[in-house]
Structure 1
Amino acid sequence: MSPTGQLHCRRTLDARCDQPFVVLTLAAGAIATLGLLANSSAVVIGAMLIAPWMLPLRAAAFAILQGRLLLVGRALLTLVIGISITVVLSLLLGASVGLPILGAEVAARTQPNLLDLGVALVAGAIAAYASVSTKAISSLAGTAIAVALVPPVCAFGLLLANAQWSEALGAALLFAANLLGILSGGLLTLAVCQPELRLNLWRSRLGLVSLLLTTMLLIPLSGSFLSLMSQAREAAALEQIQHAITISLKNRTLTLGKDSELINVRIDWSQNPPLIRAAVRVTNPRLPTARQVADVQAYINQQQPIRYRLIVQRVSVDVIGPETEPNPPELVPQDPASPEEINKILSDPDRQAPD
């Protein structure tokens, strides 16, 4: 049998919806859902290793290049069955547990961007390469961890159970990006590694549709990526400004620096110029003065490419204690007895007990 024929036999087995596929899907779905509910990344990673969904995807990529529509349909049907099982399972678990607020592990899967699509393309390429190179089989475990198919579906079911529709849409978009990224990466890699399949990629309508759908995902994912970049820039600017305020309070305004402590800094980017709100804990209620705040603002604007306006909120520190001393002077012994004198007094038989 030719290498292509052997590859076809292996991919036919990968496309089957047999008992191991269903059992592993149930196990991966249950573990991933429980891991998301417990907000445990380690448990979610375990579910990624168990999930068998990479197999039908790999089979679909090969079948598309071969033009075997029956095998494509079988592989996609197997994948749809796995997705349906996982959604129902996560929905039931989420409804039965009834957590009012889902953790960060779920939230992390509701805002996909271009980086997620890039990871999926590379992972799909490695998975396809492992199917034609026995030396790369060991990379499949890392590929399963790098791109997650089951956790976004479980997050989708949990968000549906909590009636969080917009977040559920984000989880569905992440799954679509991973799915199409893996499929497109696998198609391109197989076309490169198997010369006899190279021309079939451009002749196959399903292959072109897959690549087209992956390209269309660039539109919503680009918006999320630009938002992520904007948040990163704002966080970097906030860190720089907080450092500049701290240095200015301690070094440039001598009367304020020794009696103050920076508590919090927030920036209102909606205003023009951006408004910095700094909370300062002070022991002197007359500080900071308007002149000192103006000096700090001038120092910040010297360090930054854009101008800011600064407002300082004063948080006074009041020291409160009891009005009377715990030990009046007449009760404090001026010349305490030594241990030898105390033992002598206690051993005196004529000593009278106190009233």
Structure 2
Amino acid sequence: MSIASETTGQVAREEKADKADGTARRPISRWTILRALAEIRIWWRDGVVADLDHVATVERVRGESLLTSRYIFMTAMSAGIAILGLLLSSPAVVIGAMLLSPLMNPIIGTGFSLATGDAGWLRRCGKALIAGSIFAILFCALIVFLSPLQTVTEEIAARTRPNLFDLLVALFSALAGSYAVIRGREGTIVGVAIATALMPPLAVVGFGLATFNWTVFGGALGLYVTNLVTIGLTAAVMARLYGFQSDLTHRQSRVQSIGIMAIFIALAVPLAFSLRTIAWEANGQRIVNQEVAEAFTDRARVEQPIVNWAAKPVTVSASVFTPEFNPSADTDVAERLAERLGRPVVVTIDQFQVGTDPRAAEQAALAQARAREAAEASERQIAALGRSLALIAGVERKDVLLDRENRRARADARPLEGLTLAGYRELEQRLENSTPGWAVELRPPLSALPEISVAEDGLDSANAGRVALIAWAAQRSGVRVSLSGSEAALQAVTGALGDDTRLFDTRTEGEGNTVVADWSVATE
């Protein structure tokens, strides 16, 4: 006898007994609940699961979750778009990378292979996942390594601190994605790809690898693993719930279910602590804003305080535009914050006196914000200039000299096979043109100098360009150049050099029209 028929009979007997003895209707019994659950189970089995074409669904998911050339190509394109969007801090570009990412398919395939107990399919999905992930990381790292932009943007920083909310986003996305695959409504997978965002965290891993920023690398890798594991295990649970049969025994299925639950708990516990830390900092930021504002009159305007929670003690810096100075503001605010936060705090408040008109404070705040924005933009420009100059010179960033006062940048270039003096000068000019207001000096290696041919009517444009190139090399290197040739040829060359002749030594030799240029020091 089935559970449904047994529970139905039991409930009927209880209701008959109630009517016979005239007693009032009793509360819902355990058998009533069991019968309801049994009826739901029958409805699910006959009304939902029975309508599915399990074989066709498995074959469709299997075909889309394997390692193919299309999968690798789309992974590369998605990774490239993702890392460029992250470097540019462009959410629109990052979303475009999410839409192209094919990583969802092998992850869903992993879940289905777990549910059906197909070890061969599971190995092939794992191979596709590992190959796609490593390829994406290395491709992004290459792009970052070759890019002059290597700053941690807001889009990058947002993917370095996984928390419990990220686990929930992955869970809900996996539920929707698994349902879309099982019910044959894969169009929904686009929205799932946006919500889960598998590719951007992987691109940030590549960024951390290229810049040797292991904090970024570890945080982004943790977020990616969280999404990957959550989607895979949720897909396995959904597949089993929809009746995809497994070759596992009852005991093995139970062990698998316990293992899935244990993994979810293992992920949730540290992520919950991370979320708790983020929540504490958010509440702390609110307390800091409140205490700094209360230290001044209502006519004052307080800029958003900057809090460094990682510092010991915690540091708080803020700017206030006020008609009345508060000389004890720093110590008073620090004492109240230490009491409310339970941590020692150091407070630095820059007070700017303005008129009594409230609009004066707003205008002063706006002016300072614009000045701060301009200063930050200038610093970003200088940082980018330093990184770019180090890149084209083939040296470390610390070997680049940046003179902010005179707005000059200088670096000594390492010899690069196949790059001539003209190539070094072209790189210098390109970088200088991209940074208006700055003088860029790239000191080239002492490579071979070109010969100069002097025609009867003087120097043509090509040879005049060689003279200018030699003069540039002498100026940048600070090494004197020796010119040797006939008297007439030397006069034509020195006439073209003008004031730069002080950097040259001349030696009259022969009667030809060729002038040979050599460094006055021995070169390898």
Residues 1:89 and 2:102 are matched in the alignment: no
CA–CA distance in structure 2, aligned partners of residues 229 and 47 of structure 1: 30
Give the AA of the match of 1:26: A
Residues 1:15 and 2:98 are matched in the alignment: no
Residues 11 and 108 (structure 1), Cα distance of their counterparts in 2 relative to 1, 3 Å cut: same
From the CA coordinates, give the structure whose radius of gyration is larger.
2
**RMSD (Å), alpha carbons:** 3.7
Alpha carbons 1:183, 1:210 under 8 Å: kept: no
1:187 to 193, 213, 236: 236
Superposition deviation, residue 6 in structure 1: 1.1
Give the AA of the match of 1:140: I
Residues 1:35 and 2:35 are matched in the alignment: no
CA–CA distance in structure 1, aligned partners of residues 241 and 143 of structure 2: 43
Superposition deviation, residue 288 in structure 1: 4.4
CA–CA distance in structure 2, aligned partners of residues 54 and 208 of structure 1: 24
| Alignment correspondent of 1:172 | 221
SS at match of 2:149: coil
Superposition deviation, residue 306 in structure 1: 8.7
Aligned length, in residue pairs: 297
Give the AA of the match of 1:240: Q
Residues 249 and 84 (structure 1), Cα distance of their counterparts in 2 relative to 1, 3 Å cut: same
CA–CA distance in structure 2, aligned partners of residues 277 and 90 of structure 1: 36
Residues 282 and 132 (structure 1), Cα distance of their counterparts in 2 relative to 1, 3 Å cut: closer
> Which aligned pairs between 1:127-206 and structure 2 lie closer than 5 A?
127-134=177-184, 136-194=185-243, 196=245, 203-204=252-253
1:5 to 41, 51, 55: 55
Superposition deviation, residue 194 in structure 1: 2.4
Q: Which runs of 5+ in 1 are unaligned?
A: 251-256, 319-355
Alpha carbons 1:202, 1:208 under 8 Å: kept: no
Superposition deviation, residue 38 in structure 1: 1.2
Cα deviation per residue 1:295-350 (whole Å; 9 max; x = unaligned)? xx79xx8xx989999997654569xxxxxxxxxxxxxxxxxxxxxxxxxxxxxxxx
1:233 to 276, 283, 288: 283
Give the AA of the match of 2:96: G
SS at match of 2:297: helix
Alpha carbons 2:297, 2:322 under 8 Å: kept: no
CA–CA distance in structure 2, aligned partners of residues 181 and 152 of structure 1: 15
CA–CA distance in structure 2, aligned partners of residues 267 and 145 of structure 1: 31
| Alignment correspondent of 1:249 | 297
Alpha carbons 1:32, 1:43 under 8 Å: kept: yes
Superposition deviation, residue 11 in structure 1: 2.0
Residues 201 and 185 (structure 1), Cα distance of their counterparts in 2 relative to 1, 3 Å cut: farther
Alpha carbons 2:164, 2:275 under 8 Å: kept: yes
CA–CA distance in structure 2, aligned partners of residues 150 and 110 of structure 1: 14
Specify which structure has the bigger relative contact order, considering alpha-carbon pairs within 8 angstroms and separated by 6 or more residues.
1
Q: Which runs of 5+ in 2 are unaligned?
A: 1-51, 356-524
Alpha carbons 1:180, 1:210 under 8 Å: kept: no
Alpha carbons 2:161, 2:219 under 8 Å: kept: yes
Superposition deviation, residue 265 in structure 1: 5.3
CA–CA distance in structure 1, aligned partners of residues 315 and 73 of structure 2: 56
| Alignment correspondent of 1:47 | 97
Give the AA of the match of 1:81: A
> Which aligned pairs between 1:248-287 and structure 2 lie closer than 5 A?
249-250=297-298, 262=302, 280-281=320-321
SS at match of 1:159: helix
SS at match of 2:197: coil
Alpha carbons 1:191, 1:201 under 8 Å: kept: no
